[in-house]
Structure 1
Amino acid sequence: MASLIPKTCRFLRLYQQQMRIPAQVIASKQIRNLHYSAKRCQEFAIDDDTPQYPGSKSVFTEKLDFLKPDEYDGIPVYRVMSRDGEVIDPDQDPGLDKDMVVKMYKTMTTLNTMDKILYESQRQGRISFYMTNYGEEGTHVGSAAALNDKDIVFGQYREAGVILWRGFSLEKAMNQCYGNCNDLAKGRQMPVHYGSKEHHFMTISSPLATQMPHASGAAYALKRAGRDLCVMCYFGDGAASEGDAHAAFNFAATLDAPVIFFCRNNGYAISTPTAEQYRGDGIAIRGPAYGMNTIRVDGNDVFAVYNATKAARKIAVEESKPVLIEAMTYRIGHHSTSDDSSAYRSVDEVRYWDSEDHPIGRLRRYMMQKEWWDIDTEKAWMAETKKDVLQEFQAAEKLKKPSPNHMLTDVYEEMPVHLQRQMDEMKKHVEKHKEHYPLDQFEEMK
């Protein structure tokens, strides 16, 4: 078998001479595979007891024994803080200073306040749709704080805290949810589908898992460009059941793409509990199967999420390898304003997670033990953030909707004839039947 290596090399030189092609072309995938196959033959010839199957990391056995999932312990959940906000192992304390921790807390509570106000506004018919982030604030802020702000983020639809951490203002968030004339998406997206080129946050798309293959591709592009950055891809346990998730995992692993797959396992895919979604040990177990570094973390522990994401980013950027993080958390709110979670789970279950193991409460207890926060500071901050949110909310509500022109712009750099024809027809129709349209609520058509 060993003689195959020099024979392959001689073949490559002869092939180059006869075909009169540059030496660098010999590095093509087809020729590299010839050399790879010869090398594998040499490796397998070392030990006759080693299976000669590509893709296998095993030895032969004479025992007929199936792998039984119930015989294995679950992947452990990494944590730093107890539910009382005490650091369990001092060596795992990230050592963040007061300013950083207070910023984390303020971002989480601002998001919480924004959720309450916008959820109620939808119930009043003032916006069309909303999704809260109750209970998952720790996954947002802990992970976002550990990234480089230039790392590219592909979110699902429950990562508002990530973009807020990066500096996306309450004003922009409110404008997006109202779809007014100052909305960056010009009213073309449903509420909570944020996006910002400035903040390296790709615009959210509703269909589950469609962002995951895109994230693998973007990470591979960063690798090819030699950028010291990575891609962060957020998704839920329900999205992990989509085919796009598996394709994304395999592409990232085989191409050694610098991407972090961050799963928010919040217990439910809308109304389907995790127990009915899969029979394996959560989502993390899939990482090793695809050849990815993997960790499961307590998603309600903002420090554990921070540490895990920081370490994952180091692997992704320095080793150019994908990483899978499964953050175990709980969705306290309804899936969306189109959902009534009381139809499929008990009030007591929700109350437990809201009162006993909430990420905001855990971080608050930590800060109070450090004497960085107290009850008076809490009251003053909550009043301030509510005032700020309401101020931006009221300002966004008063703005007009974008011009109807924007329904057909921004698709092409120069509008083609067929779209221009549609634009003209739309304008004529609206002009003819303008009494049926609330034109005073929209910017003027040009």
Structure 2
Amino acid sequence: MAGPKSTAAFERAKRVLPGGVNSPVRAFKSVHGTPFFADKGEGPYLYDIDGNRYVDYLMSWGPLIWGHAHPQIVAAVQEAASKGTSFGVPTELETDVAQKIVDFVPSIDVVRMVNSGTEATMSAVRVARAATSRSYVVKFIGCYHGHADHFLVKAGSGVADLGLPDSPGVPKETAERTIAVPYNDIDALRDVFLERGEEIAAVIIEPVAGNMGCVLPRPGYLQAVRELTRSFGTLLIFDEVITGFRVGLGGAQARFDIEPDLTTFGKVIGAGLPVGAYGGRRDLMEMVAPSGPVYQGGTLSGNPLAMSAGLVSLNMLEAANREGFYDKLQAYGQQVVDQFVELGKQHGIPTYGHAIGGLYGLFFHEGPVYDFEGAMASDGASYERFFHAMLENGVTFAPSPLESAFVSGVHTSRELEITLGAMKAVFAQLTS
């Protein structure tokens, strides 16, 4: 349970913030606990205000691929801040970061910076609707694309955790323009296209689902989605807010050799500072104002703090990629998954997991998980006990069974040893 300082801080927060938090999953409701309050982060470790230290696999929900407070990134932000935090006119930093994204991701010719993944996905859909003169969008059950109205239909992440109906406050007319189909089921998607393919502007998909736990696409699935969308003149949007620059330098699309029409990215671009982006083919992106008629703007888009941090981070990733960086991240995550599954077998507890790049997921479920139904069948009560016991042993995962875990470039064999040792102790507790 949270220490006395965190408990008191949460009570104070609840008086002035909805539920005491600024993002729902932080409230620890999914694991029936009181959240600890962060004091600082350092490398692979997170420290709370009660003085506890945790090996951190939350990594600010993914963007901290170089861990907490990396000296090079901190120095870049400090230098940028000393010159000013925002200007409202262009800076060369914005172009430099955009050029890196274009260089790393073959499907992207032009990119627009925004302030969050939600803004990125919302804007990409707007471009798709304008480009096709169609209004319907297909998403996948359990995939989360931010909190824009048309995405809060059978979403994963915190929406599923809280059990919210396809989101109160979303007009029926908006929801009706979003079609939700099961993830990893190409026949279900094909049926939708046979019924109303000429009306579908875009299919938006997480190429690796990260908001129902980490769920991998079945072999050939993404290729089939690409072929189907192309045959109906529908644009394919890859939501790489979680996977971009985390499962590979070119994202999941490079890993699976798929070229979507549009791609969205999130805060990993800014090494944890608020930023997002969307990009794609030149003809599509030149529809965006001021080049074209599709309006989207943001006062703080491409702000110098996020761009400075992002440029350093992307340069570091480019250099590390030559040394097998992503293979090392995957090997680390795979060892955690393998131990989790093996301990489950030893103790008679159903367990399963996926790992790809710096992303992995743990399920209290027997056998493969390939869709939202499988993720929801995972034993939430066991995850809750596991989460709190690991926390007591100095390791923190996401406070929800429907989220992924993240490995950074500064997690070492020492942190792996701590994690695997804690897991052994925790599984012994789970069966005692």
Could you say whether these structures have the same fold, taking a TM-score greater than 0.5 normalized by the shorter chain as the test?
no
Between the two structures, name the one with larger relative contact order (CA 8 Å, sep ≥ 6).
Answer: 2
- Bigger proportion of residues as helix: 1
Q: Which entry has the higher C-alpha Rg, 1 or 2?
A: 1
TM norm structure 2: 0.31
TM norm structure 1: 0.30
